[in-house]
Amino acid sequence: MYQESPFDSNNTLYETDTSDKIRQNISNDSNLPEILFITSYPPRVCGIATYSQDLIKALNNKFGNSFFIKVCALETEKARYDYPDEVKYVLNTSHSQDYSKLAHSINQDHLVKIVVVQHEFGLFQTSGRDDFMQFLYELTKPVIIVFHTVLPDPDESLRTKIKCITAACESVVVMTNNSAKVLKNDYDIPVEKITVIAHGTHLVRHINKKFLKEKYGLKGKKVLSTFGLLSSGKSIETTLESLPNIIKRNANVVFLIIGKTHPDVIKSEGENYRNNLKGMVISLKLQNHVIFINDFLALPELLEYLQLTDIYLFTSKDPNQAVSGTFAYAMSCACPIISTPIPHALEALNEETGIIIDFQNSHQLAKGVIRLLNDEPLRKSISTNTLQKIVSTAWENSAIAHAMLFNDITGNKLHMQYSLPAINLDHLKKMTTGFGIIQFSKINEPDIDSGYTLDDNARALIAMCMHYELTGNATDIVYLNTYFEFIKYCFQPSGNFLNYINQDQEFTKQNDDSNLDDANGRTIWALGYLISRNRVLPEELIFQSKILMKKALLRLDDIHSTRAMAFVIKGLYYYNSAVKSTENSRLVALLADRLVEMYRHESSEKWEWFESYLTYANSILPEAMLCAWSLTGEAVYKRIGKSSFDFLIKNTYNENGLKVISNKSWLQKGQESERFGEQPIDVAYTIFAMGRYYDVFKDEDYLDKMNTAFNWFLGNNYLHQIIYNPCTGGCYDGLEENHVNVNQGAESTISYLMARLTIENYRLPDDPEDTF
């Protein structure tokens, strides 16, 4: 029967007239709009059920303060389930009359704004009639239909049916460009009605493969694997037939077959297919090389099995299988993949990301496996390329694409808000050794070969000060001492700081070949900020910082680099709040006057700036002028600070959000900037400046722009992809023309963290905990 989850006036659970117990759903006291997913849903074991659960989780995490996701779970007379709270309706697809009842309830539900149907014909044909089509035409709410399978070369009956379904829907979502092409060419579906949103993939904390193999008793093995609900369509026998040839060249190979038999297969034929495979294992004498894991693994365990896999094998024999969730999971874990040519694989794999073989061709499979097993550099290269290829398909990015579609369909009435991620120091700490924070990472693994920089450790010192002031977490002091001691290590008898140190803690030749003014300026900012927090930080740390600061101040008159002067002004502004002196004011005025002269030399009616170009860290310049005004009271500093910041805002904000100045070409006076090469550090500096300008001018527009800038990290950028990785706590290194740089180095990660902590200081008291 069709069921709706009812409540009494106290919103408590009770039973209907039938023997079925109805779930209590999540209260929507805020009357947020609801998006209703019609789909199979866990605990039902089904690929679409898992897909929907993953997507809904991502939507809730990203946009939980913009709308609620509710579910109408699909089931049949033969299988009933006890669902989680988000399930608002249940449709028994075996009963024709329940389709019409459900349509009526949805139409009467004022909270439901959009209906999203996850479609496979097998999900809706159990009544024996075409009730699904009638249901779509009875709905008065806009419908998005997601086709998980699109069959090419349809007969007239199927073609007509698909055209009728899409005619009843506002939008059609498919997961591959091939599926979109088939809909256009074979079904005459208008292109403007089709949206391609790739199957989501999981962000993964990549764990050492050797460690995982030991954990699961596979030490010393070369691991091949496949997973999913077992059925003959997976053609596991193709791999079994190839194994004897593979083992001749690689005796330590083991093949993992992960997953329970598909429930529908169990109903129709029991375990015949699995038993046949076991028989093949015996006849081919593969008992020591094949392991059946007959279980539906929890996601964390499954992802660990995939991460320890050396080669993932996808051998489906269905050429019309448009997408595969198992394939997507394997790519999430950076598995080198050998696959048959389903459309999903043809779009995802090339010679740099995997190997395509013909259907049921065990010879090609063996050849591909042997090649990869005997070429470790190639496997590693494929793994890295795979991660770069699929980062755009993360569930978080899928959620962004879906939310944008929802908003378009409602005429921008959803009032989209990105949820604020929890503050996470995991990656910062992972990048930090007992000596300091490492400069670069390969993906999310620290690259000790890249050494250390004063720049990064100065920034890390500021970030950890901010975090300690917010939380009072005692472990922060350990890291504060590490970063401060690194800065001391870089200080030279001549009164300046060196910047570059290798993994052996030796200063490198790069210090002789580089302008170190910016690094020295950032260090003054960091020391000044640290000393200004003298009421909350340990006395000894403050004492040592003051000693170092006094020594460093002796060389500041000689700094002429534009941004270095701005960093120093900001540092002295903080320093003076704790250690007031006329010398601080003199230095600030000296440096600020130099910036004033630069501004007067370069500025014009249409170019109100200090230089003839906008480059990196631009916001620090007007912010420094405001700091100089705050310390000295000199009105010209405030006036130039305001006019230059207004000019910068005009050139970096548009109706879509923040447009970061490209590091590929910069913005030259009278020219247009590139639309890619955007870096997190520039966004962070923008957020710092917005806070400063709000503090001085009390204009709410600065807070709005601060929020807009922070949303750049969360997906409101020109690629509509996340830059902050909530799984690792790291931040991707930049936004390129067609992709994000998936490395998560110190500069990017610290920049994000400082921005996030700044946002925390400007949260309103009545803001929800996870939004700004």
- Taking only the tens place, the pLDDT of each residue in 30-82 is 689 999 999 999 999 888 999 999 999 999 999 999 999 999 999 988 788 99
Cβ atoms within 10 A of the Cβ of 514, count? 14
Mean pLDDT of the chain: 92
Is residue 161 over pLDDT 90? yes
How far is CA 675 from each of CA 2, 210, 666, 668, 739, rounded to the nearest angstrom? 51, 41, 10, 14, 12
Comparing 117-126, 332-341, 642-651, the range with the smallest average pLDDT is 117-126
Is residue 8 over pLDDT 80? no
Q: What is the mean pLDDT of residues 274-298?
A: 95
What pLDDT is stored for residue 6 in this prediction? 31
What pLDDT is stored for residue 77 in this prediction? 80
Is residue 233 over pLDDT 60? yes
Residue type, 646: D
Is residue 20 over pLDDT 50? no
Confidence tier at 18 by pLDDT (50, 70, 90): very low
Between residues 772 and 296, which one has the greater pLDDT? 296
Rounded to whole angstroms, how far apart are CA atoms 750 and 13?
A: 47
What pLDDT is stored for residue 580 in this prediction? 96
Q: Alpha helices of 536-581 — where are they, by DSSP H?
A: 539-553, 562-578
Local structure of 36: helix, strand or coil: strand
How far is CA 498 from each of CA 458, 479, 587, rounded to the nearest angstrom? 12, 21, 22
What pLDDT is stored for residue 29 in this prediction? 59
Q: Scan for tokens 């209260």, then name that residue.
A: 27
Rounded to whole angstroms, how far apart are CA atoms 483 and 523?
A: 11
What pLDDT is stored for residue 128 in this prediction? 59
Rounded to whole angstroms, how far apart are CA atoms 127 and 93?
A: 6
Confidence tier at 763 by pLDDT (50, 70, 90): confident
For 668-689, write each residue's pLDDT tens digit.
887 877 778 899 999 999 999 9
Is residue 9 over pLDDT 50? no
Helix (H) or strand (E) holding 260: none
How far is CA 174 from each of CA 6, 431, 542, rounded to the nearest angstrom? 34, 39, 58
Q: What is the mean pLDDT of residues 149-174?
A: 95
Rounded to whole angstroms, how far apart are CA atoms 294 and 260?
A: 5
Name the nearest CA neighbour of 468 among 545, 539, 537, 571: 537
Give yes or no for a contact between 151 and 158, defined as CB atoms under 8 angstroms apart. yes
Q: What is the mean pLDDT of residues 634-645?
A: 98
One-character DSSP codes across 670-731: TSPPPS--B-HHHHHHHHHHHHHHHHHH--HHHHHHHHHHHHHHHT-STT---SB-TTTS-B
Confidence tier at 434 by pLDDT (50, 70, 90): very high
Local structure of 429: helix, strand or coil: helix
Tokens matching residue 28: 């929507």
User: Who's near 339: CB < 8 A, 6+ residues apart?
Assistant: 313, 314, 315, 327, 345, 349, 354, 355, 356, 357
Q: What is the mean pLDDT of residues 224-247?
A: 95
Between residues 591 and 26, which one has the greater pLDDT? 591
Is residue 144 over pLDDT 60? yes
Going by the DSSP 8-state scheme, the letter that residue 64 receives in this structure is: T
pTM beyond cutoff 0.85 = yes
For 367-408, write each residue's pLDDT tens digit.
999 999 999 999 999 998 988 888 899 999 999 999 999 999
